[in-house]
Structure 1
């Protein structure tokens, strides 16, 4: 049973430096981007190793863009992890193929390990490491760190790889853009009056979705104050929400479903302001330092807020309670502060500056 960590500095205890390393992070875009500081640390600690990421098929492009990874393997689905992809026969074939790879090391970056540790052990690596919950049996893991029940996601993952012997190399996330991404984004936004304000109304978790009527009110108010353009951004999964906003925000441009990951990120760099739920696109914006308002539920900032200072306003509800929401006034106050910086116009007074806006300084 794990009550204490074991296998500290595993990288230096192995009989030889690992040549092939499998990493598991079968989660969504935001969680994947939170691994980039840990991946950077591993790349510096293992400069000659082949680092291969096992993740969701939709994130193949994100893996290809990473300067720290050498390969992508599509996650096949597994009970308790991305179950929508799971097929028993396909999973058995997957594990046979992975065991033939003869990985020297497999690291579980998924989370608490309840489902992810059995999956990672089935890869058949010579050594296996990961998190585990206190009280769980970890006798088959060569290195284990108890899963922390609080703290920022980036720092949790850095804690694990640091425990294994990969020293941190900064906490900033990485989201490389190619020239073609910037050209595609320029074409999509060509001719739109400035300033351009982007909205992302979706999240895979319904509890993290700000009410659409509040997006509408904020967008209409900002358009009256600043003119310019309102654009809707995101993947096809938010097309239903985007259709509602398009019908209720006069003159907005609906680009949902029209951008792959690269052009989407490049489009964010051309915005005067991006307003989003607590979701993957917020992490893309943090990585690219795009002026961003993120609408969190109470406590969400602790795990997923921006760690670096920048043009960011990570907002949480001013009122207490699990069901409390960020108010329209909070969002407008933050927008006025960030747009004043982006446009050079004098800030429109909207009350006291919130604690969250310290990031925007």
Structure 2
């Protein structure tokens, strides 16, 4: 390894993004934890991710809320608390700070302010990055998972595989059981029509048609979504001819994970739940509306079918993939 184990006792990981983004880094962080088994690993992220670090407490030891930064759209920049955050980061005295946010064009200068002994991550031509041999030219190709594994390999850390994970707790299973859904494992399909940004959402009438098809094949259709996605899940349900089971706003992330684990199939946009299906090896049909199916689609293209809607905006393509997977799991 480029940085000896005995020198690295505290590691900070900067990735202030959403669920799918973090899940895609787990294979890299798994390798990092194996390489530095006794180091303290702390995530610097968005507020929601504190619970993520607790779920993955075999990899993470702590969490700090990142207060935003100009040029990062995920949250507003809080200029009043940012200086205190920098002071806090400097007081932590990280031995290694990993920039896993992206190409580094925006955040690499900021990373220097944290005062870590070593800073590593991604860089891109024409933008600042320390000339320390620890920055990798951003691989603007391939899957998000493999991009971060490549960063670990650049640091001399062995690849432990690209499989995703999502640990479930007993509390997750109890919560799901308390809903008393009249479903049996492998006899229902999860339909998740929401995602961040309307431009990433497949038309609701198409989700409704696929849900009806699955019900006609003898499966229950379980609609999932957050409270904020109520309008879109209600729109799907209103266009169905059959009756769906609506869990909108009734489940935590863990309970949704448990639902997806035991489902026969997931139908969703290319969003966080598609990575849960990949982690559980639950078959899925994923509609990519952002033009990057190669980056965000599940790696197992036999069990998971990702449709690039920008190139093939044809409902029948999605329908055929759904039929094929339903027949394979029947």
Instruction: Using structure 1 for the length normalisation, give the TM-score.
Output: 0.84
CA drift at 1:135: 2.3
Indicate if the aligned counterparts of 1:297 and 1:325 stay in contact, CA closer than 8 A: no
1:30 maps to 20
1:6 maps to none
1:278 maps to 270
CA drift at 1:189: 5.4
The alpha-carbon distance between structure 1 residues 233 and 160, as it changes in their structure 2 partners (threshold 3 A), is same
1:334 to 315, 321, 326: 321
Indicate if the aligned counterparts of 1:111 and 1:131 stay in contact, CA closer than 8 A: yes
> Hey, what's the Cα distance between the residues in 2 that align with 1:284 and 1:140?
37
The alpha-carbon distance between structure 1 residues 187 and 310, as it changes in their structure 2 partners (threshold 3 A), is farther
> Hey, what's the Cα distance between the residues in 1 that align with 2:187 and 2:263?
7
> Hey, what's the Cα distance between the residues in 1 that align with 2:194 and 2:146?
26
1:155 maps to 146
2:99 to 89, 94, 108: 108
2:212 maps to 220
Indicate if the aligned counterparts of 2:17 and 2:74 stay in contact, CA closer than 8 A: no
Indicate if the aligned counterparts of 2:201 and 2:289 stay in contact, CA closer than 8 A: no
Moved over 6 A (4+): none
Q: 3-state SS of the aligned residue for 1:57?
A: coil
Indicate if the aligned counterparts of 2:189 and 2:264 stay in contact, CA closer than 8 A: yes
CA drift at 1:311: 2.7
Indicate if the aligned counterparts of 2:285 and 2:306 stay in contact, CA closer than 8 A: yes
1:128 maps to 119
Gaps of at least 5 residues in structure 2 are none
Aligned pairs (5 A) from 1:1-361: 9-12=1-4, 16-66=6-56, 67-82=58-73, 84-139=75-130, 143-188=134-179, 190-192=181-183, 195-224=187-216, 226-249=217-240, 250-297=242-289, 299-308=291-300, 311-317=303-309, 323-343=310-330
> Hey, what's the Cα distance between the residues in 1 that align with 2:183 and 2:31?
41
Alignment coverage as a number of residue pairs: 327
Indicate if the aligned counterparts of 1:26 and 1:82 stay in contact, CA closer than 8 A: no
Q: 3-state SS of the aligned residue for 1:276?
A: strand
CA drift at 1:141: 5.4
The alpha-carbon distance between structure 1 residues 65 and 310, as it changes in their structure 2 partners (threshold 3 A), is farther
Indicate if the aligned counterparts of 2:208 and 2:237 stay in contact, CA closer than 8 A: no
Gaps of at least 5 residues in structure 1 are 1-8, 318-322, 344-361
Instruction: Using structure 2 for the length normalisation, give the TM-score.
Output: 0.92
> Hey, what's the Cα distance between the residues in 2 that align with 1:90 and 1:246?
43
> Hey, what's the Cα distance between the residues in 2 that align with 1:340 and 1:184?
31
The alpha-carbon distance between structure 1 residues 204 and 231, as it changes in their structure 2 partners (threshold 3 A), is same
